[in-house]
């Protein structure tokens, strides 16, 4: 089996948490997820802290701005770009202050190229997705920006191993031709799987760190994830309906970030561990591989949860991962 870039019996969060206090969010993550903490994202802080604005902030020489509540490509970096950069800097400063001596694996997240292309407008209107050349430019720009981001995190946490998560909730819709145009009466044409993998691979190859592709939408394109060279896929276990593609991907060495704890609503660590164990059993893989190949996570981001629910979900994931290791 592959040596995975995370410790056995690991649990982590997807990224987002409720609230606006980044210092407290970082303390919670480090306390509840000591084996694989992540950089918290707090979208409740507003523009620039949301997934699209934050992700677009990593683009190099491709500034964006808010216009009528929609992110679009801008002629030059302005107030929105400065706010996005300032929010990220505050987050990284907290990570540095609280985890500067951390010696394990730490995860950072960013929106992937296809979700950005499906969400950010061109200057004259329409999503970047409609222009193949613009998508290539976006992927190259994002690749360079995330390379710099990973290098920055590594310099701040010199003893840590950095793991990069690309959030791609729009990827299945991009491949199926289901991303609606502005009018809502039509959709952008489908993107070929090979083209989708190429754009993702541009980011994966440049990152300088192992990459996890996260998608909590139905129909995660596992072959695209594999062809992109990702180390793992993160998905919502409750949305997995066809086990064969997942089994093939895992058998080929792909890691699994198993979204087993609901963002809201109670679920005990025993129930979370049971959901992961049941899946593994159905796939007929040796039990000894599970704690090494699988990381336990919430089903998706926790921004919509209450603080108590978010903390409980992280705790349940941590304790479930330990149960799976010990059983």
- pLDDT per position as a tens digit, 4-57: 999 999 999 999 999 999 999 999 999 999 999 999 999 999 999 999 999 999
Write the DSSP string, 31-78.
HH-TTS-B--B-GGG-TTTSHHHHHHTT-SS--EEEETTEEEE-SS--
Task: Report the pLDDT averaged over residues 109-119.
Answer: 98
How do 161-167 and 232-236 pair as beta strands?
unpaired
Please state the φ and ψ torsions of residue 118, each to the nearest 5 degrees: -85, -5
- Is the pLDDT score of 1 beyond 70? no
State the Cα–Cα distance between residues 82 and 16, nearest whole angstrom. Answer: 21
Q: Which of 200, 296, 313 is nearest to 7 (CA)?
A: 296
- Is the pLDDT score of 187 beyond 80? yes
Q: What percent of the chain has pLDDT over 90?
A: 95
Token pair 């289901």: residue: 178
pLDDT, residue 294, reads 98
State the Cα–Cα distance between residues 159 and 48, nearest whole angstrom. Answer: 29
State the Cα–Cα distance between residues 129 and 127, nearest whole angstrom. Answer: 5
Instruction: Compute how many other C-beta atoms are within 10 angstroms of the C-beta atom of residue 255.
Output: 22
Please say whether the structural domain 22-326 has been given the CATH code 2.40.10.220.
no
Query: Residue 283: which H helix or E strand, with range?
Result: helix 269-283
**Rounded (10°) CA dihedral 286, 292, 293, 295:** 120
Q: What are the residue ranges spanned by the domains of the chain?
A: 22-326
Token pair 């222009």: residue: 131
How do 70-73 and 64-67 pair as beta strands?
antiparallel
Task: Report the pLDDT averaged over residues 167-181.
Answer: 97
Task: Report the pLDDT averaged over residues 88-93.
Answer: 98
- Is the pLDDT score of 2 beyond 70? no
Distances (CA, A) of 52 to 110, 231, 311: 9, 23, 24
Token pair 């995190």: residue: 153
Please state the φ and ψ torsions of residue 62, each to the nearest 5 degrees: -145, 70
Predicted confidence (pLDDT) per residue in 239-290, tens digit: 999 999 999 999 999 999 999 999 887 789 999 999 999 999 999 999 999 9
């Amino acid at each position: 089996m592959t040596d995975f870039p995370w410790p056995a019996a690991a649990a982590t969060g997807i990224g987002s948490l409720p609230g606006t206090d980044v210092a407290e969010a970082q303390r919670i993550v480090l306390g509840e997820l000591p084996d694989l903490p992540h950089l918290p994202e707090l979208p409740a802080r507003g523009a620039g802290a949301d997934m699209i604005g934050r992700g677009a902030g990593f683009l190099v020489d491709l500034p964006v701005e808010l216009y009528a509540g929609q992110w679009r490509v801008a002629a030059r970096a302005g107030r929105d770009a400065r706010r996005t950069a300032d929010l990220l800097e505050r987050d990284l400063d907290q990570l540095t202050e609280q985890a500067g001596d951390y010696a394990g694996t730490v995860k950072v997240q960013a929106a992937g190229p296809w979700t950005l292309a499906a969400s950010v407008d061109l200057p004259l209107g329409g999503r970047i997705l409609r222009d193949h050349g613009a998508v290539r430019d976006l992927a190259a720009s994002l690749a360079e920006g995330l390379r710099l981001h990973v290098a920055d995190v590594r310099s701040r946490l010199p003893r840590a191993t950095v793991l990069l998560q690309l959030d791609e909730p729009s990827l299945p819709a991009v491949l199926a031709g289901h991303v609606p145009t502005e009018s809502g009466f039509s959709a952008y044409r489908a993107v070929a799987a090979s083209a989708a993998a190429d754009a993702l691979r541009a980011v994966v190859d440049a990152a300088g760190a192992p990459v996890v592709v996260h998608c909590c939408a139905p129909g995660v394109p596992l072959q695209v994830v594999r062809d992109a060279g990702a180390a793992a896929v993160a998905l919502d276990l409750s949305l997995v309906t066809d086990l064969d593609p997942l089994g093939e991907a895992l058998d080929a060495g792909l890691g699994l970030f198993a979204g087993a704890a609901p963002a809201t609503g109670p679920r005990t660590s025993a129930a979370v561990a049971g959901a992961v164990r049941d899946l593994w059993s159905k796939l007929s893989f040796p039990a000894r591989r599970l704690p090494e190949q699988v990381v336990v996570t919430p089903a998706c981001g926790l921004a919509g949860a209450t603080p108590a629910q978010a903390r409980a979900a992280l705790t349940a994931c941590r304790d479930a991962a330990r149960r799976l290791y010990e059983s």
